Amino acid sequence: MQVDELLKPFPIKEFHPFPRALMGPGAHEMIGPEALKLGFRKTLIMTTGLRGSDVVHKIAESMKYHGLEVVIYDKVESNPKDYNVMDSVKLYQESGCDSFVSIGGGSSHDACKGARISVAHDGRNVNEFEGFNKSENPKNPPHIAVSTTAGTGSETSWAYVITDTTTDPDNPHKFVAFDDASITSLAIDDPVLYFDCPVDYTAQCGFDVLAHASEPYVSRINFEPCLGNALHAIKLTSQHLRAATWNGQDLAGREGMMYAQYIAAQAFNSGGLGIVHSISHAISAFYDTHHGLNNAIALPRVWAFNMPAIYPRFADIAEAMGVDTHGMTKPQAADAALAAAIRLLRDVNIPERFVDVTKDSYSKNRLGSGPTEYYKKSGVIKGDAADVDRITNHVLGDACTPGNAKECTFDLVRPVVDHCMNGDLDDLLT
C-alpha cells in the first residue's frame, strides 16, 4: 500500500528494520572479517570516483588479505543513473560475484541497493522497482555499505534514489524506491574516512542530515518512535556541522556528524520525509546538482511553508538548534528555528538560490554535463516560469510529498519552488 493511502484511512504505522552497524574510528578496518562472516567469496565493490584513493585501496586490500576476490565498478555517478545500476549488474553477473560492497556516499549506496534488487530479479531493469516494496524476491546478495560522507544515511535506510534516463529528455525523472529488501547487511560508519571530504561537500551533506531529521519530526505521519532520533540529530547537526566543515580533521566534529547522519536516517526510515526532498529530487532530475546542496536551498523555504501547520514542532526544533526560546510564543520560537537554519546555511557558505548555482558552486558540480540531452542543454538553472512549473509538477509526483507537514497542491507548492529558484532568504525573516 502507498504512503498516501496509509495516511488517510488507517492509523497503523510501520516501523522498518535497520541493519547491524559498526561505528567509530577504525571501523572500516573490520571489513575483511565481517565479509567472511557474511559468507562473501567474490565481491563487487561499487564506488564513484574514489578508485585510486586510499579508501578504496585499503578496503579492497583488506578483503584480499582475508582471501576474498574483488571486482571494482567505479563508474557510479552523482545522482546515480539507471545505466550505472544496470552496468554494475552486468559486471556482477559476468564476474560470478556473490556479494556487494559500496564505498562512498548516497550515490554509491543507492546504486548498489538498486543493483542488488535487480540481481535478485534476474537482471530486470531497476526502473521497474520505483515505489513501495515493488520487489518480489525478498532475498538478494549480501551488502556491506561503507560511508565516506556524513549525509546520506542510505547505509541504514530502506530507501534508494535513482535517475531514470529513459524518459522524455524534456521531462527527466528521478524516483525514490522504498523497499525492505534493499536494506544493507552491514553498515560501516568511520569518521576517519570523512577527513578528506571537501569543505563544500561536507556542508551540503550536513544539510541533507538536517532535512532527514527535521522532515520526520514535522511529518503528517507523526510516528512517535522516530521523534526522539529526529530531534537529537537536529541538535547534533547544529553542534557539529560548522566544525566538520571548516576543520575537516576535527574528530569530534566528524564523529558528531557521523552519528547525526545515522540517527537522522533512522528517523526518516519510518517517520517519512517531505517536500524538501521532493524539490531536491526534482532539481537534480533536471540539472544533476548535488542532493545535499538542493536540500540546503529548499529547506528554509519549506520550513517557512510548513510552520503554520505545526508551530509547536518547529519551536522544539529551535531549542534543539540551541535557541533560548524562554518567553517566546510557539510561532516566535518557530521563526527563530528558521533564522537559525539560515544562519547555519550562511555559516557553511552554501548558495542561497538555485539560480545562483553554477559549475563553480561546488567542487564536483555536474551542472550541464549529465548524461541526457536535457542536462546538456541546461548549463544554467533558468528559474523562469516554465522551469518552476516543471519542477513543481515533479514535486507533486514524488514519493516523499505525501508525508509533508502541510497539504501540497500545484498552487500551494509553486510559490515555494519559485522562491527556491529566485527568492531572497531575508524575505523569510521579515
For residue range 229-267, what is the model confidence (pLDDT) as tens digits?
A: 999 999 999 999 999 999 999 999 999 999 999 999 999
What is the b/e burial string over 251-279, where b = at least 16 CB atoms within 10 angstroms of the residue's CB?
A: eebbbbbbbbbbbbbbbbbbbbbbbbbbb
- Cβ 315 vs Cβ 328: under 8 Å: yes
Residue 288: per-residue pLDDT: 86
* Separation of CA 166 from chain center: 22
Which residue type is seen at 71? Answer: V
What is the b/e burial string over 105-138, where b = at least 16 CB atoms within 10 angstroms of the residue's CB?
A: bbbbbbbbbbbbbbbbbeebbbbebbebbebeee
Residue 167: per-residue pLDDT: 82
Domains of the chain: 3-194 (3.40.50.1970), 199-429 (1.20.1090.10)
Q: Which three cell numbers stand for residue 216?
A: 520526520
Residue 99: per-residue pLDDT: 98
Q: What is the pLDDT along the chain (430 residues), one digit of tens a residue?
A: 355 555 554 468 889 999 999 999 999 999 999 999 999 999 999 998 775 578 998 999 999 999 999 999 999 988 999 999 999 999 999 999 999 999 999 999 999 999 999 999 999 999 999 998 999 999 999 999 999 999 999 999 999 999 998 887 777 889 999 999 999 999 999 999 999 899 999 999 999 999 999 999 999 999 999 999 999 999 999 999 999 999 999 999 999 999 999 999 999 999 999 999 999 999 998 888 899 999 999 999 999 999 999 999 999 999 999 999 999 999 999 999 999 999 999 999 999 999 999 766 665 555 555 555 655 656 678 899 999 999 999 999 999 999 999 999 999 999 999 999 999 999 999 7
Residue 3: per-residue pLDDT: 53
Alpha carbons 408 and 376: distance in angstroms, whole number: 31
Residue 207 Cα distances to 37, 243, 349, 392, angstroms: 35, 14, 12, 21
- Cβ 121 vs Cβ 166: under 8 Å: no
Residue 362: per-residue pLDDT: 60
DSSP codes, 273-291: --HHHHHHHHHHHHH---H
Sequence-distant (6+) residues with CB within 8 A of 324 are none
- Cβ 310 vs Cβ 388: under 8 Å: no
- Cβ 174 vs Cβ 285: under 8 Å: yes
Sequence-distant (6+) residues with CB within 8 A of 413 are 275, 392, 395, 396
SS3 content of the chain, % helix, strand, coil (to 5): 55, 10, 35
Residue 358: per-residue pLDDT: 77
DSSP state letter for 8:
T
Backbone angles phi, psi at 321, to 5 degrees: -85, 5
Residue 8: per-residue pLDDT: 57
Residue 9: per-residue pLDDT: 45
Residue 13: per-residue pLDDT: 86
Lateral strand order in the sheet of 131-132 = 131-132, 173-178, 159-164
